[in-house]
Copies of this chain bind each other. A is one copy, B any other.
Amino acid sequence: MSSGKILVAQGGGPTAVINQSLAGVVLEARRFRDVTRVYGALHGVRGIINEDLVDLTRETSHNLELVAATPSSALGSTRDKPDLAYCEEIFKVLRAHEIEQFYYIGGNDSSDTVRIVSEQAQQAGYPLRSIHIPKTIDNDLVGSDHTPGFPSAARFVAQAFAGANLDNAALPGVYVGVVMGRHAGFLTAASALGKKFPDDGPHLIYLPERVFSLEQFLADVKATYARYGRCVIAVSEGIHDASGEPIASLLAKEVERDAHGNVQLSGTGALADLLCDEIKAKLGIKRVRGDTFGYLQRSFIGCVSDVDQREAREVGEKAVQFAMWGGRDGSVAIKRTGFYSVDYELMALSDVAGKTRVMEDEFISASGTDVTDAFRLYLRPLLGSGMPDAFRLRPSPVEKILKK
């Protein structure tokens, strides 16, 4: 170490706890006497090439703690995915500011960015330590038991379905809730944790890990409605037909794609509306309602898992420790060591970057429309303490007089 300057940035979709990781990096780095400056880049890699840097060494520990408890990316984020030319711009800035450690907090795409930057640095002979710090509500990073951000979003989804189920029980009908998750169904599956009694919803869960058939869907809804007089359904935005074509994009008039070639699935209620229209038209059910949870599930302030907060803080801290004492680039991964306990490892970037984990078969029921107890056991400790609970009046019917 010569300059002692390090840089941290946040990429991809914000989460409820991504600032915990930021605080973890900054507060841990400031404990090392060799660290002279902790810089932050505004709006991820874009802030680096634009030289939009801030000095986090000049921030109070107290305010860092308050920011850590605030959802969304305090430094701002980006969807940019650096190519070769972009990386050369990054190096120019890193060199100019004599930055020797680069921490990037993000998901799949961000880990790939770190991998490219790391490789480019090696090719350029620039002495840079690059560490990817995991973050994604999709829980789709390979090698990790789970990813920071997922537990809090999962808690939101579980609480939302617990409430939607109660609402649907009071005014019976069909309710469709569309949940984020392009390829991995973990977040949609979290809806199952909102269920308490055997007849509670969600009664049906549709995941991107299984092929979606509109005919089978309608048959499932019809059977459930016949059985319970109502039906609560959790649907992943990423459901697709047998050819892999997303059901959502089959409908979209204009398909919007981001810099990564991804189709926009969030920020529109089209999928929920289509499914509701089909149920009304084909099954003749009058009261059919659809909600798209949208950005609420990742940004809602005041719904967070304390386990998630703790772990998000620790992956930031551990990233700095790995960088200082590990001697190699990598991606921090969470490993489960008990029920419930975790430890952290530094994985090779090439083992994580650009790869996508989906739900393991053992987590999905044979029917394909429910989760297994293995999944419930996997997810429950992540939701943290203080989960709200739902209670019912116990049945005590009054004898009928007129209609005996």
| A contact residues vs B (CB 8 Å cutoff) | 10, 13-14, 39-40, 43, 50-56, 58-59, 63-64, 66-67, 69-79, 92-93, 96-97, 159-160, 162-164, 166-167, 169-171, 175, 194, 256, 266-270, 272-273, 276, 286, 288-296, 298-303, 387-398, 400-403
Contacts and interface: CB of A to CB of B under 8 A. Distances in A.
23 contacts: A14-B166, A40-B393, A53-B397, A55-B396, A64-B393, A67-B391, A70-B392, A79-B171, A92-B402, A96-B401, A159-B302, A160-B296, A162-B301, A163-B302, A167-B299, A266-B289, A267-B288, A267-B290, A268-B269, A269-B273, A289-B295, A291-B294, A301-B388
Given A70-B391, A97-B398, 11 more contacts: A10-B170, A53-B397, A63-B391, A75-B393, A175-B295, A267-B288, A268-B272, A269-B270, A291-B296, A293-B296, A302-B303
Contact of A292 (B269, B301, B400): B269
B291 A393 contact: no
Given A291-B267, A303-B302, A74 B392 contact: yes
Q: Which residue, A40, A53, A96, A296, has most C-beta atoms of chain B within 10 A? A: A296
Nearest to A386: B302
A293 B286 CA distance: 21
Contacts of A169: 72, 76
Contacts of A395: 54
Nearest to A75: B393
A3 to B, nearest CB: 13
Contacts of A268: 269, 272-273, 276, 289-290
A137 to B, nearest CB: 12
Contact of A295 (B13, B53, B96, B167): B167
B72 A396 contact: no
Specify how many copies of this chain sit in the oligomer.
2
A299 B14 contact: no
Contacts of A270: 269, 273
Contact of A73 (B170, B390, B397): B170
Nearest to A10: B170
A58 B396 contact: yes
A-side interface mostly: loop
B296 A296 contact: yes
Contacts of A387: 302
A296 B163 contact: yes
A190 to B, nearest CB: 14
A290 B302 contact: no
A286 B389 CA distance: 41
Nearest to A256: B286
Contacts of A272: 268-269
Nearest to A398: B53
Contact of A54 (B74, B163, B269, B397): B397
A179 to B, nearest CB: 12
B96 A393 contact: no
Q: Which 7 pairs of residues, A with B, have the shortest CB-CB distance?
A: A269-B269, A267-B289, A72-B166, A291-B294, A163-B299, A66-B391, A167-B299
A252 to B, nearest CB: 10
A395 B170 CA distance: 49
